[in-house]
Structure 1
Amino acid sequence: MAGWKWVRGFLKRNPRISLRSPESTSLARAQAFNKPNIQAYFNALSNTLEQYNFPLENIFNMDESGLTTVQKKCQKIYASKGRKQVGALSSAECGQHVTVVCAMNVMGTYIPPALIHPRQRMNDELMNGAPVGSIAFVEEKGWMTSEIFCRWLKHFVKYTKASNNNKVLLLLDGHSSHKSLESLQFAKENGVIVFCFPADCSHHVQPLDVGFFCPLHTYFDQEFQLWLRQNPGKAVTQFKIAGLLNQAYLKSAVPSNAINSFKKTGIHPFNPHVFEDWQFAPALATDKQILEAQGDIIENQMELEIQTPSTSGLNMSSSSVLDISVKEICPPPQTVAIGTDKKNAEEGEKLVI
């Protein structure tokens, strides 16, 4: 059995490999982010861009993210050695969830954000210190709803000057609150073309998720801790969220973040091959083309048996040595595609056996 000495030697011989902390990927995301889905998405996006010929300043992405009054992770601090426990002050055990709605375009222009507070009645003090031009909504749990999204669209049209003569493309995820009849009718009447990303793929294809919300949360956590240290004995409430968000938003809402985010997702410059093969690795075990792939493997194995000579291995000629990949010899485990009938499923199991 290989020991730690072999591991250290392996890492030394392969300096491009390092020990990393993997990001948890749900089964739904692994199944959805595969080459057929991404290819269909880029084909649909290409047709939409060619049909309307949007100027760059009219291509926007919108998404929501959550903020809380209790810090998720405390920063490391210096403490004396030998202490078994080191604590840091927190506002409370359980925090209140506040949703922030952001939008940006390809040119690096941002729409003033919107805040959704978990309340039944609005209080003007909730927006003390908020980013300039931002608006606030109230909802019992602080989540996005169809009614709030329709009201946000009016805020979006106000700043983008969208109309039937100046159409705007709005890229967003396919959450149910984004697809109500009232919202789609309002968008159609005001020249807003709503385009939904494929389900469970926003972690790769949505610019806000790729390059904006991560620095926003990082700066927000820094401002959060700084406020706690400067105000000992006080707790962060939802009345302080807007002010802390303003400091983090000014640092993260810069043109370079927006431009690089649209570039990494292949939206602009348009690049349907922006994702590399290793990024589709989690989808290999849930490939929808399982039966066809297994049939190809069986055919390759049959051809190998036919072409292999029956003589001893010592007398094999060079023509019998075939270039076979590891995937063909030992394919990764795969599940039967959703919607496959029972007969095909049983045949697929037999092929695997």
Structure 2
Amino acid sequence: MPSRNHLDKVGRKKKKKWTEEAMERALIEVKSGRCTVRQAAKEFGVPKSSLGDRVSGRVTPGSRSGPARLITSADEKLLVEFSLHMSKHGFPLTKQQVVSFASSIYKRQHRRVALSKLGQTWWLNFRKRQEKNITIQPADNVVRGRTICVRKEAVDQFFRLLGTVVDTHGLREFPRRIYNCSEMGYQLGRRKAAVSKAASLGYKPTPSSRDHISVLACFNAAGEDIPPFIIYSRAYPGGGCYKTQGPPNALYGWSESGYINSELFKKWFLKHFLFQAPKERPLLLIFDGHKWPVSLEVVESARKEGVVLLCLPPHCSHILQPLDTGLFAVLKQHFALLTGNGAAAEGHFAITKKEFSGVFNRTYQLATSEEGVRIVREGFRKCGVFPLNHYAVNEVHLMPSHDAGPAAGDSLLKSAPAAELTAAGPS
């Protein structure tokens, strides 16, 4: 791959010494018959060959020199706006994510082209063109690693973002428009059976005998739910009974791991959340976008449909995620009682994939009951999400502030100062 220094040398070597304005004036003189191509090129200081190409029509006047851009200037401008929008809402984009989003734009324009991903050359040129709009900043090492406590800067930044969003969109008095979605997992296994001692010697369950199933639940601050999204590992269970036995209007999917991923989240948001959510707008959806990065289609649809996406800071779900602080623990306890597991040690439940949706349906009824609504509301209050209360978070969980270094949650892409953004556009 070409290095940045190599590209800089090539750029300096091939940098043109004439302006488009001079070329346009020379072209007018030639077309009016007052000058020849040679005379106009000498008078206005433009290359004779380039002027001749425009006179003959081989090159369209006003077109840029060099190879054609892989994505248009208009789409690149949208990509920059998208990056800044994501950074302001707690979704700082990495280099890999920007390149991935640009590749998606390119593939939409060139569906028959085999190119699957833009490369290092595109990224370096993009950085150079947009250096006035975006700035690159290394992520904090504390953010990358798992930490026992939560950075105070991360929590402060989240509440600043939340306060700005709530006030900008007038959501402070509308709990029905503030949603949180989160994922809870269930490890399934075989039922224990009483066998003779001889038969049990040396017996070990195979790894394939256990399946993982996760559920994406979504509630608003008023305690109202979006029907759950049940995700199976590796494949759906045989037969279609899992759909008829599950919670009403639930959505189903599968992944190799049994956890949600970017594609499944896109399916849930576009085909389920937007359909089931109330028609009032705007809506606020808070979730942990670090586990399953949002796709370009999700962000575009959210902005079009009046849904504001807000990302939680890393490793803060146990104190900032309303559903994690109360409802999920109650649901797992109830699920364990229904499966006869008691406390369900280590989160393992002795039922099969086919049986899961029926048992979970009975469990989920607790979430939609009067008691479940109270627990959900209490979770939003306990996290300080609604009513908005920064001081609701227990400082025992927070690490002390650091004078040096970037705040947790800072990104590789951060917005430039407002004065520069106002005056600058894609070059």
1:1-353, aligned counterparts within 5 Å? 28-30=146-148, 33-54=150-171, 55-70=174-189, 94-120=209-235, 123-153=239-269, 154-162=271-279, 166-225=281-340, 236-253=351-368, 254-280=372-398, 283-284=399-400, 288-289=402-403
Structure showing greater Rg: 2
Letter in 1 for 2:159: F
Assess, with a 3 A threshold, how the Cα gap between structure 1 residues 236 and 191 changes in structure 2: closer, same or farther.
same
**Deviation digits for residues 182-209 of structure 1, max 9, x if unmatched?**
2211222221111001111111100011
**Deviation digits for residues 102-121 of structure 1, max 9, x if unmatched?**
00001110111011112346
**Deviation digits for residues 151-187 of structure 1, max 9, x if unmatched?**
101211111134xx71110000023524211221122
Tell me if structure 1 keeps the 8 A contact 2:236–2:253. Answer: no
**Deviation digits for residues 16-63 of structure 1, max 9, x if unmatched?**
xxxxxxxxxx972435x1322211111110000000112221100001
In structure 1, C-alpha distance between the alignment counterparts of 2:256 and 2:153, rounded to whole Å: 39
Q: Aligned to 2:213, what secondary structure does the other structure show?
A: strand
Q: Aligned to 1:177, what secondary structure does the other structure show?
A: coil
Tell me if structure 1 keeps the 8 A contact 2:190–2:352. Answer: no
**Deviation digits for residues 114-154 of structure 1, max 9, x if unmatched?**
11112346742222421111111122332212221111012
Tell me if structure 1 keeps the 8 A contact 2:242–2:358. Answer: no
Tell me if structure 1 keeps the 8 A contact 2:184–2:215. Answer: yes
Letter in 2 for 1:193: V
In structure 1, C-alpha distance between the alignment counterparts of 2:145 and 2:293, rounded to whole Å: 24
Assess, with a 3 A threshold, how the Cα gap between structure 1 residues 250 and 29 changes in structure 2: closer, same or farther.
farther
Could you tell me the percent identity over the aligned residues?
A: 26
Give the TM-score normalised by the residue count of structure 1: 0.61
Assess, with a 3 A threshold, how the Cα gap between structure 1 residues 148 and 290 changes in structure 2: closer, same or farther.
closer
Gaps of 5+ in 2: 1-143, 193-204, 343-349, 406-427
Assess, with a 3 A threshold, how the Cα gap between structure 1 residues 195 and 224 changes in structure 2: closer, same or farther.
same
Gaps of 5+ in 1: 1-25, 75-90, 228-234, 292-353
Q: Aligned to 1:199, what secondary structure does the other structure show?
A: coil
Aligned alpha-carbon RMSD (Å): 2.9
In structure 1, C-alpha distance between the alignment counterparts of 2:327 and 2:265, rounded to whole Å: 21
**Deviation digits for residues 55-89 of structure 1, max 9, x if unmatched?**
221100001111122389x9xxxxxxxxxxxxxxx
Assess, with a 3 A threshold, how the Cα gap between structure 1 residues 92 and 176 changes in structure 2: closer, same or farther.
closer
Assess, with a 3 A threshold, how the Cα gap between structure 1 residues 139 and 277 changes in structure 2: closer, same or farther.
closer
In structure 1, C-alpha distance between the alignment counterparts of 2:404 and 2:281, rounded to whole Å: 45
Assess, with a 3 A threshold, how the Cα gap between structure 1 residues 202 and 226 changes in structure 2: closer, same or farther.
closer
Paired residues, what number?
236
Tell me if structure 1 keeps the 8 A contact 2:221–2:377. Answer: yes
Give the TM-score normalised by the residue count of structure 2: 0.51
Assess, with a 3 A threshold, how the Cα gap between structure 1 residues 157 and 275 changes in structure 2: closer, same or farther.
same
